[in-house]
Amino acid sequence: MHVSILTYGSRGDVQPFIALSVGLRRAGHTVTLAAPAPFAPLAAAHSLAFAPLPGDVVAFSRALAERAGRNPFAQARVMGAHTCAIAVEVLGCLRAAVQGADCIVHTFVTTSAGHLLAAELGVPDVSVQLFPFFAPYATFPNVTVPAPSLGPTLNQLTHHLATQLFAQSSRLLYAWLRRRHPAIGPTRLPWPALGVRTPLLLAYSPLVVGPTPAGLPLAHTTGFWALDAPADYQPPPALAAFLAVGPPPVSVGFGSMVPHDAPRMAATILGALRGAGQRVVFQRGWAGLGDGARGNDVLAIDEAPHAWLFPRMAAVIHHGGAGTTAAALRAGVPSLTVPFTADQPFWGRRAHRLGVGPSPIPAHALTAAALAAVLPLLADPTTRRRAAAVGTALRAEDGVGVAVRAIEAS
């Protein structure tokens, strides 16, 4: 088959589809990946055909961190404003990217567009969700709900409501756009009935989230989609030297999050870790975290594959994105989540529930005292043993392989 994959967002929304693309190619298929333009080098590193999509994903992430936070209605406003500004242009790029496709794979932001284009071409489509959405779990509410549980009935209700709100808002946005641009597509936006008429792949581990909810015959919980570090990867000399001269450090990184007070947050974390006698590796990310930090016990780096870096760390402090959470869990080391927005609080709660680290500390509540109170748990032998056991179990899963077989069966 020729498979077109449509995704949008930060690296955490793109890298799993690099892993899937590699898996599909290994199985004999060809792939075109459509994703934001800044990720062209990542696709090129894996020799993938790439269709660049417009839009400033850094500004989008900054808006989510600064203006939306943990408020689901504010998150919806930020996403809506970003989508409205570029939707017609993105749809045109996506339409070009799927020409000749035998199957279209789409993810959260591209759900409606991907299904629309599949209907236009008369080819099957598959929805992929990197966090629990469009699936009515009874054990926890939708990721937009801050509570860990509301009871089975209300939990399921929040999932159904979130699906309906997403579907209706997508239809309203499409109708608004079509009034201004009649050529973009048919008069009405079709809805894919995910897991019922359209296959739904839940690209995370059942060990972390739980089994696939009942009533979705076409849904599969695959396991996380991990992208291994290149076999010939060599770390930057400064990183290799830093790791060689002392005990394993703590990795600190917030990925695509761009908080305005990143310098304060970095100083707070560095001070608390120094107080606990820990060395630190800052991953700068989009916020430049750790820039300006000085000392023999600290190093700031631009980028290193999580699959290579995290197993060499004593612990990981991160923002709780789905991809970073998966990498930290698979590495088998303790972790602490400092969530900013969207699904990040959910992943922090799941990691804590697994016993691999403390309860998450929201970004707005991050203080030296709060960190100092939980750092002993990261070093606790019981936590370390539990993290190692979880890592072993997750590394035994074949999420990409399960996904490839499901796509082939679609």
Q: Return the number of other C-beta atoms located less than 10 Å from residue 201's C-beta.
A: 27
Q: CATH says 2-226+397-408 is which class?
A: alpha beta
Tell me if domain 2-226+397-408 and domain 237-395 are identical in fold. yes
Residue bearing the bigger pLDDT, 87 or 7: 7
- Look at 55 and 124; give whichever has higher pLDDT: 124
Length of the chain: 410
Q: 121 burial class (0-12, 13-18, 19+ CB within 10 angstroms)?
A: middle
The answer to whether residues 337 and 347 touch, using CB atoms and an 8 Å cutoff, is yes
- Quick one: CA dihedral 232, 13, 52, 36, positive or negative? negative
SS3 of 323, please? helix
Lowest average pLDDT, out of 57-61, 123-127, 258-262, 265-269, goes to: 57-61
Question: Does residue 75 register a pLDDT over 90?
Answer: no
Measured CA angle at 93 (ends 132, 114), to 5 deg: 35
* Domain spans of the chain, in order of start: 2-226+397-408, 237-395
Question: Hey, how many other C-beta atoms are within 10 angstroms of the C-beta on 44?
Answer: 11
Strand, helix or coil for residue 4: strand
Q: What DSSP string describes 47-71?
A: T-EEEEE-S-HHHHHHHIIIIITT-
CATH of 237-395, one of 3.40.50.170, 3.40.640.10, 3.40.50.300, 3.40.50.2000: 3.40.50.2000
* pTM of the model as a whole: 0.94
Round the average pLDDT of the chain to a whole number and report it. 94
Q: Is 362 helix (H, G, I), strand (E, B) or coil?
A: coil
Better-predicted residue by pLDDT, 379 or 287: 379
Cα separation, 376 vs 360, whole angstroms: 14
Task: Return the axis-axis angle of helices 322-331 and 11-26, rounded to nearest 10°.
Answer: 70
